[in-house]
C-alpha cells in the first residue's frame, strides 16, 4: 500500500495530515518500534528509524527490542516497561517490596484466546493479582 494514498474513511483523514508513521512490534517475549516522518518517506521510502537505546541489563549490551514486561504501582499507575521494568521488579523482590506493585511479563498470548477476551477481561500479574487486561495493554503501548 502506498502510504501517501492511505485514507481512513472512519476518521476522514488523509495521509498528508500525518507527520509520522510508526509500527509497533508487540511481541510475546520482546517488543520494539520503528518510525518514519512523511518527509523522509517521500525522499527515501525505505528509511526508517528504530530505537537503539535500550540497555539490556548493562551499559555494554544494547538492544533494538526490549522485554514485553510492564510494572505498575499498586494503584495501577505506570512505573516502567521493558528492561527497566524487569530490573526494577527484580530489585523490589530482593527488597521485599514487590507486593506493592503489579508486574506483567509475556502477556501478549492473552490476545490469542479471543473467546475469553472481552472489554472487562481481567488478567493476573505474575503473583496472581487480577488487573484489567485493557488497562495493562494500553499502558504497555
CA distance 95 to 98: 8
Q: Read off the C-alpha cell for 90.
A: 527484580
Q: Which residue has the higher pLDDT, 105 or 42?
A: 105
**Contact of 102 with 75, CB cutoff 8 Å:** no
Q: Over the stretch 10-40, which tens digit does the pLDDT of each residue have?
A: 556 566 677 887 888 888 888 888 888 878 8
CA distances to 16, 108, 118 from 6, rounded to whole Å, are: 9, 28, 30
- Residue ranges of domains in the chain: 3-8+16-63, 69-109+116-129
> Residue-wise over 38-56: b if at least 16 C-beta within 10 A, else e?
bebbeeeeeeeeeeeebee
Predicted TM-score of the model (pTM): 0.74
Please tell me the predicted confidence (pLDDT) of residue 14: 64
Q: Read off the C-alpha cell for 44.
A: 527515501
Please tell me the predicted confidence (pLDDT) of residue 109: 78
Sign of CA dihedral 130, 132, 137, 140: negative
Q: Over the stretch 73-118, which tens digit does the pLDDT of each residue have?
A: 999 999 999 989 999 999 999 999 999 999 999 888 777 776 777 8
The DSSP code sequence of 32-50 is: EEEEEEHHHHHH-TT--EE
CA distance 30 to 52: 14
Amino acid at each position: 500500500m502506498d502510504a501517501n494514498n492511505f485514507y481512513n474513511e472512519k476518521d476522514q483523514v488523509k495521509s498528508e495530515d500525518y507527520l509520522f508513521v510508526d509500527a509497533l512490534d508487540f511481541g510475546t517475549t520482546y517488543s520494539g518500534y520503528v518510525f518514519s516522518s512523511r518527509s523522509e518517506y517521500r525522499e527515501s521510502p525505505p528509511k526508517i528509524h528504530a530505537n537503539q537505546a535500550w540497555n539490556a541489563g548493562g551499559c555494554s549490551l544494547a538492544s533494538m527490542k526490549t522485554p514485553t514486561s510492564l510494572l505498575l504501582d499498586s494503584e495501577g499507575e505506570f512505573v516502567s516497561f521493558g528492561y527497566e521494568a524487569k530490573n526494577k521488579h527484580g530489585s523490589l523482590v530482593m527488597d521485599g517490596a514487590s507486593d506493592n506493585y503489579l508486574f506483567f511479563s509475556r502477556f501478549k498470548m492473552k490476545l490469542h484466546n479471543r473467546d475469553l477476551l472481552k472489554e472487562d477481561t481481567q488478567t493476573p500479574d505474575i503473583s496472581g493479582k487480577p488487573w484489567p487486561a485493557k488497562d495493562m495493554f494500553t499502558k504497555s503501548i
